[in-house]
Amino acid sequence: MMSNPFQKIPASVLDHLFNKSQFRADLTISKTPIPAYKKCLKEATSKMDQWFLDGMDIEQLVFARAWLMDQILRLAWEHLNWSDSCPIALLAVGGYGRGELHPGSDIDILILLEKDHYDEHQDAIEHFLTLLWDIGLKVGSSVRSLDECASQAADDLTIITNLIESRVISGPAFLHEHLLDLIDTEHMWPSQRYLQAKFDEQRKRHRKYNDTEYDLEPNIKGSPGGLRDLHMLGWVARRHYGTHDPAELMELGFLSNVEYQQLQRCRAFLWKIRWALHSLTGRGEDRLLFDHQRTLASQFGYHDHTGALAVEQFMQSYFRTVMIVSQLKDLLLQHFDDDILSAGIVHKVHAINERFQVCNNYIETVHDRVFAEHPPAILEMFVLLTRDQTIQGPTAETIRLLRDYRHLVDSTFRKDPRCTRLFLELMRAPYALTASLRRLARYGILGRYLPEFGRIIGQMQYDLFHTLTVDAHTLLLIKYLRSFSYQKSHQQFPIASRIIHRIPKPELLYLAGLYHDIGKGRGGDHSQLGAEDAEQFCRVHGLNKEDTALIVWLVQEHLTMSVTAQKKICLTRK
């Protein structure tokens, strides 16, 4: 059974939000109950909006709104005459079932019957739903019998997901208990099938948002690193472990206390943005559009200063938050993969060297002190990933170790010849360079090894030519540069594909790509600033004069190339 999501809300908050005696008195004033319900909702909404502006804990607000809806729906439900011959109950499902409601969220309910005897309740159901619509509630409703719920849930991932988060608002509890028995993993959607389906669903959703957390107008719910990723973790945990509470995942050993606190802070920040967005637009708007970004930046207390606008600072906070969510999501999903999908599989381990081994196609350290005892191994692991195409990534514990020891990537680390050699070797990787750079960035290592790159993480670009943050745009550029050497690009990009095979050191091109926009957000000519950073990189990494000069020139003149190309296109069109 799900725990009560409203236990942590102070009684004083609930008392101020809904006065049952006053509400009943208001019902007697008018012949129709509609004015009383509307008055109650208006006053409560006004209070919650003010509480939000006053800085009230967002978790209490989100849960309090769901609690308020429970009171409204329960009173409306219990006011009607329900036939005793066929038991019927009102359930909250989906996000509302979790006890989470933002101002514009759908209020998803299930009217659950023991048998499909709809005629016995038809009039009452119609009156109930009509009242909810008349008082202005955005309700998503379904009416099903127990058998229908089981039949539809067995074939539909969305329905089973909504039902496993259900809870009773009013009516006999045994109906809900029977429902949970019918949809249990013993009867449908065993944990392995459910997790795999959720993996596939996530991949489709991420593709819809270009597989990046860093779109300049992100969807805070659906984009990678957004709230839906957090929901997915909760769904899988609920299905397999019987809990959606991150605190219990910590007790299971899947999260450390530090990681749990990070997850809670990230969720709170995203919830604040979503609440503010819904309040600002007056609807369930989850797109963080440019116009909304500026308003929210001001509302959240950001101010313009030299080199960074308030909106840029606000969005950088957002992008860094979703980056952390993505890190922790990767960690937890790898744990779930090991514990659920790979359960019972014999571990096949083979050593790579004295520091790393591969276990069932995932790389891991041979012991948990590898990075502490030999810091260059942090970069070495990513080089190893580019040497063996069968390695799918690091294990969950290795991801955690990377996060725990990334603080070792400091000035001493950056000057260590072993580290500089490894980084250059990575840039010469035969394959998986882009994936490795993205992992380095996601795990917070690339921004530490190259502090100048760290400054552009989440950096906005307000122009006509970019739809991503500077860091995401930079890594995407390297991906495109790499793609020119692939066979499939020969037809689409014949000139670039022909030229790239003539370049004796393609890593120089990738390094120039890495630095071409790295000077943005500092004021001044970013091409010149980037060229200076690139020259410093080359000096530290021991590149010869000719290679250094080429990289610096490419960075310094990349805008000249862009302007020339665009002028040529314009002239051709004329």
Position with higher pLDDT, 128 vs 7: 128
* pLDDT of amino acid 250: 87
* pLDDT of amino acid 568: 55
* pLDDT of amino acid 28: 87
pLDDT exceeding 70 applies to what percent of the chain?
A: 97
The answer on pLDDT for 464 being more than 60 is no
* pLDDT of amino acid 361: 92
* pLDDT of amino acid 80: 92
Please write the tens of the pLDDT for every residue from 475-504: 999 999 999 988 888 888 899 889 988 999
Question: HSE on the CB side for 552, CA within 13 Å?
Answer: 17
**Sequence-ordered list of residues with C-beta below 8 angstroms from that of 547, at least 6 positions apart, any chain:** 505, 508, 538
Q: Which residue ranges form the domains of the chain, and what is each CATH number?
A: 11-189 (3.30.460.10), 192-319 (1.20.120.330), 346-449 (1.10.110.30), 469-574 (no CATH)
Locate 300 and state its tokens. 């959240």
Position with higher pLDDT, 58 vs 243: 58
Locate 224 and state its tokens. 């990678």
pLDDT exceeding 90 applies to what percent of the chain?
A: 76
* pLDDT of amino acid 1: 45
**Sequence-ordered list of residues with C-beta below 8 angstroms from that of 461, at least 6 positions apart, any chain:** 216, 468, 469, 470, 473, 520
CA distances from 302 to 220, 288, 294, 314 (A): 19, 16, 10, 7
* Distance between CA atoms of residues 119 and 127, nearest Å: 14
Whether 87 contacts 146, CB under 8 Å: no
Q: With bands split at pLDDT 50, 70 and 90, how would you rate the model's confidence at 343?
A: confident
Based on its alpha-carbon atoms, the radius of gyration of the chain, rounded to whole angstroms, reads 28
* pLDDT of amino acid 522: 81
**CA-CA-CA-CA dihedral for 412, 418, 424, 426, to nearest 10:** -100
What are the phi and psi torsion angles at 429 (to 5°)?
-55, 135
* pLDDT of amino acid 569: 52
Kindly report the pTM of this predicted structure: 0.88
Q: Where are the beta strands (DSSP E) in 61-220?
A: 88-92, 107-113, 139-145, 167-170
* pLDDT of amino acid 567: 64
Locate 426 and state its tokens. 């990575």
Q: For the ranges 37-46, 60-69, 192-201, 517-526, which has the lowest average pLDDT?
A: 517-526
Number of Cβ within 10 Å of residue 571's Cβ equals: 8
The answer on pLDDT for 572 being more than 70 is no
Please write the tens of the pLDDT for every residue from 414-457: 999 999 999 999 999 988 999 999 999 999 999 999 999 999 99
* pLDDT of amino acid 529: 94
Instruction: Taking residues 176-185, report their average pLDDT.
Output: 96
Position with higher pLDDT, 569 vs 84: 84
**What residue type is assigned to position 512 of the chain?**
A
Please write the tens of the pLDDT for every residue from 36-75: 999 999 999 999 999 999 999 999 999 999 999 999 999 9
Q: For the ranges 1-5, 285-289, 313-317, 504-508, which has the lowest average pLDDT?
A: 1-5
SS3 state at 110: strand
**Mean pLDDT score of the chain:** 92
* pLDDT of amino acid 344: 77
Please write the tens of the pLDDT for every residue from 141-179: 999 999 999 999 999 999 999 999 999 999 999 999 999
* Distance between CA atoms of residues 557 and 185, nearest Å: 60
Residue position matching structure tokens 């591969």:
358
